[in-house]
Structures are given as C-alpha cells and as structure tokens.
Amino acid sequence: VTALFDHFGRTVSTQAFRLAAASATAFLLVAALIVGVLFWQTNTLLTDHVVEELRGEARELAHEAATSSPQAFSERIEVRSRVSGSSLYYLANAASGAKIAGNLAVFPEDVAASSTGGVFSYTRLGDAPELSRLAVGIPVAVGPNLHLVIGRDIEEQITLADRIKRTFLLGFGVLALAAVLAGLAVGRTVLHRVEAINATTRSIMAGDLARRVPVSGNGDELDELSENLNGMLDRIEQLMNGLREVSDNIAHDLKTPLNRLRNAAEAALRESRGAEGYREGLEAAIEKADDLIKTFNALLLIARLEAGVVEESAEMFDLGRLVEDVAELYEPVAEEAGLSLTIDVETGIEVRANRQLIGQAVANLADNAIKYSAKAAEGKRPSDMTVSVTARKSTGLAEITVADRGPGIEPQDRDRALRRFVRLEKSRTQPGTGLGLSLVAAVAHLHHGSVRLEDNEPGLRIVVTLPFATASS
Ligand SMILES: Nc1ncnc2c1ncn2[C@@H]1O[C@H](COP(=O)(O)OP(=O)(O)OP(=O)(O)O)[C@@H](O)[C@H]1O
Ligand SMILES: [Mg+2]
C-alpha cells in the first residue's frame, strides 16, 4: 500500500500531472461560468413565463371588474376557481377580511401588501397542511371594497430547475473526475518513460557504455530527448574510441621509430672512434628524434581535430586563392620529379573555415600526388604525367580536387588509406608515416565536409568537399 501511495505521490508531483491539473482547473472554471449563466437564464425564462401569465390574467380581471357588477364579478372568480387542472389560484376578500370568492384558503397578506407581488406558500384545498406548495402571486386592483390576489403554482418550475441543477452538478462532477484521471494517466505515462531513461543512464554510469535510451517511435518530445541523449552517447563513445586508437597508435606505431632511435644511438656509441663519429651519431639521432616529434605532432593534431577541439578559429577567405598559393609551392618539387603541375582554380569561392588547416590538407594531397606518381613518371614526358589541382564551386559546396597519373589506390583500399598510420603495400619504399590522408579526412570532417577517393584512370583523384559556411568553432 505504501508503494502504491509512493507511486501515486510521484505521479502527482510530475510536471505533466501538474500541467494537466492546471488546465483541467481552468477548464472547470470556464465550464462553471457557462453552466451558471445557462442556469440563471433558464430560471429567468421560467419566472418570466409565470409572471406573464399572471399579468394577463390580472388585466382580464381588472377589465371584468370595471364592466360588471360586484355580484357578477365574484361569480366570475368563483367560476375561474373551479376550472379543474388549472394552476391559477384566486382569493377575493372584502375590505373587512371576509372571503367573497376563490380557491385559496389563506389570504397571502405579504403579496397583497406589495405592489409587485411575491412568492407565497399555500395548501391546496383538501390537502393536508404539511403538503404546502409554493406559488407566485400578485395583487389586482379591483376597487376599494375588494381585495383580490391571484397566484400561480410554481412547484413544477422548481422541480424542473432542481433537475437542471442536478444534471449540471453531475456533469460537473464527471468532468472533474475525468480531468483528474486524465492527469494521472498522462503523469504516469510520462513518469514511466522518464523512468526508462533514468534506468538506462544508471546502467551506463555503472559501466554498460553500449546501452542506449529506448525510443518509442512516436516522434514526441521525449523521443527527441532520447534521440539527443543517444546521439550524445554515440559521440562520447566515438571520442573514447578515438582516444583509445591514439593510445594504441602511440604504443605500436611510435615504438618502432623510438627503438630505431635507441639502436642508432647505441650503435654510434659502440662503433664510433673519435669525436667526429660521435658527432655523426648524435646528428642522426637528432634527425630521427625530429621525425618522431613531427609524427607526434601530426597524431595529436588529428586527434584534436577528430575530437572537434581546435583553438584556431574559422575565418572567411577565398578558397581558390589559398589552393593556388599552396599548390604553387609544389611546382618546383613536381618539376624535379618529372611531372607537370596544373593549377586550375575558380576565384571568389568564399568559405568560412580554418585557413591553416585547409592549407595543410591541400599540401598533404599535393605531396602524395607527387610522391607516389614520381616513379611512374620515369622515362615519360612530363606533359603526360600531370598532377592537377583544382578548386571550384559546385551546388552548395566548395570542391578541391587533386588528381595524378600514378599507381592509384585499389577500390578496396580506399577507406583504409584514410586511417591513421596506414601505408599501402605498394608505397613502402617511399618515406612517410601514413598520417597525411588521416589529417585530410579529419580536417574535412571538422568542417562538416567529406573526402572521396576516385579512380583517375589511371591514377588517383581525391575530392574534398566543404560547405561554404562551416565554423569549426
Ligand atoms: N596519390 C596517391 N597515389 C597512390 N597511393 C597513394 C596516394 N596517396 C596516398 N596513397 C596511399 O595511401 C597511403 C596513405 O597516405 P598518407 O598520405 O596518409 O600517408 P603517407 O603519404 O604514407 O605518409 P605521410 O603523408 O604521413 O608522410 C600511402 O601510404 C599510399 O600507400
Ligand atoms: Mg602522404
């Protein structure tokens, strides 16, 4: 029983129940107002009808009194009094108080004294005195020697009004009950679903990170809340996976170069004879350490981009101009490798993005294109071995394309190539850490854009799309 009360108490204290109760109260107030006005009007209508009937009768009697003798007039009253089934009552008394004619036993002094009439109680002739009834009566002026009061029974009207009142009250009660029940039902449903959300979050806090909040599927605001919570949980899981991946990468991929550095230092110590030997050994060690630092920095930058954390804010700039500036830096490198670099950019593509990161991404793509197609260029004319860099406006997006005529990447390897530290079998002979494309992907992702790897027949074409106005902040 206490559990039941507890449950009831919690339902009642929900926001949903309170809202339902508040609106039910407002509704009932308005209903009460309407019912009150209706009742009042019905009552007036009934009363008006009775009063009108009495007035008509009074007019007729006043006319008859003026046109006939007192004797004839009292006979007329006697006749009217005997009409069976009529609810009209008459009593004519002489000035002395003696009854002259009529079907009322007691003269209603109050009614006779007031000019507008009033309600009086009477007993029908032949009825027991406790069966008194109510009537409305008015005095009729029929000369100085006669006191005439006519009345009309209103028991029927009272019964009708009572019945109407009872119906209204009953309806009112049913409405109030329905409102409370509806409020309870709404509160319970909401409470039930909130409880489900709470249960899920509790088990997530207890370590079951894969749990998700149930979504009922009817698209209401609780569903929206659940979906947002699930989205948040997905995002957190993604970030945690990213973090785990980075630590895995550090453990595996940076151990090898670190070991190499250590071995080189050891070898230098063991083999070198004289200061010059040590010097060379130290220089080699510094070079390897620099590479390691570079790799570390790239790795950390990618991790930061993937987490969506970048201190550098976005700015508006001309994308075509930036791509051109960066690509031009690679012209001498391309030439040296026997390639021709063509740059074809539209100007006036204003984007809101992180300029430095976009520049780095373009540089990585140009670097790859030159590095991996250089071998294929041997013995061919540079004009056949173009690396083309373009930037253009497409529908709602800015598009950067870097295409080469090198070995390309097999379709099944294209997704993999974007991952950290992935270097494909074919390119093991080239220097590199496998982070270049990961950074491109992370930059695109940060700007809500995308990276596509396509076949350039032959060669590789990489298309980076960016929405015009994406803020990394
Ligand atoms: N233009 C290209 N043509 C053929 N293969 C490519 C091309 N660009 C990238 N790849 C392949 O994708 C792999 C990943 O490229 P990514 O730029 O991420 O690393 P990397 O060039 O090996 O090293 P880094 O850029 O970090 O110095 C490369 O190792 C290479 O196998
Ligand atoms: Mg690269």
pLDDT in tens, 165-196: 898 889 888 888 888 888 888 888 888 888 88
> What is residue 412's predicted lDDT score, i.e. its pLDDT?
94
Please give the Cα distance from 397 to 29 (Å, whole number).
58
Closest ligand to C-alpha of residue 460 is: 1
- Among the listed residues 104, 48, 112, the one whose alpha carbon sits nearest the alpha carbon of residue 80: 104
Q: Which of 426, 427, 429 to mutate to test ligand 1, by most ligand atoms within 8 A of the CB atom?
A: 427
CA of 356 to the centre of ligand 1 (A): 21
| C-alpha span between 431 and 356 (Å, rounded) | 24
Residue tagged 């991790």 (tokens) = 303
> Taking each helix axis from N to C terminus, what angle separates 255-271 and 275-306, rounded to the nearest 10 degrees?
170
For residue range 36-88, what is the model confidence (pLDDT) as tens digits? 898 888 888 888 888 888 999 999 999 998 898 888 998 999 999 888 788 89
Alpha-carbon distance of 302 to 296, in angstroms, equals 10
With beta carbons less than 8 A apart as the criterion, state whether 18 and 147 touch: no
In terms of C-beta distances under 8 Å and separation of at least 24 residues, what long-range contacts does 63-70 make, across chains too?
65/140, 65/142, 65/143, 65/146, 65/148, 70/143, 70/145, 70/146
Name the band, by pLDDT with cuts 50, 70 and 90, for residue 469. low
Residue matched to tokens 């984007």: 351
Pocket of ligand 1 (CB under 6 A): 364, 368-369, 372, 404, 406-409, 417, 422-424, 427, 432-438, 460
pLDDT at residue 459, as a whole number: 93
Q: Tell me the two tokens of residue 175.
A: 């409405």
Q: How far is the CA of 132 from the centre of ligand 1 (A)?
A: 111
Q: In this model, does residue 471 exceed pLDDT 50?
A: no
pLDDT for residue 472:
39
Instruction: Give the ligand 1 atom nearest the CA of 430.
Output: 22
- Output the CA 29–ligand 1 centroid distance in Å: 75
In this structure, the residue with its CA closest to atom 1 of ligand 1 is 369
Q: Would the pTM of this model clear 0.75, i.e. be above it? A: no
Which atom of ligand 1 sits closest to the CA of residue 423?
Answer: 29
CA of 380 to the centre of ligand 2 (A): 23
The predicted model gives 281-295 an average pLDDT of 90
Beta bridge partners, 466, equal: 398
Residues in the chain: 473
Average pLDDT of the chain to the nearest whole number:
87
Give the residue whose CA is nearest to atom 17 of ligand 1. 436
- H or E segment and range at residue 258: helix 255-271
- Which atom of ligand 1 lies nearest, measured to the CA of 434? 19
Query: In the structure, what pLDDT confidence band is assigned to residue 229 with cuts at 50, 70 and 90?
Result: very high
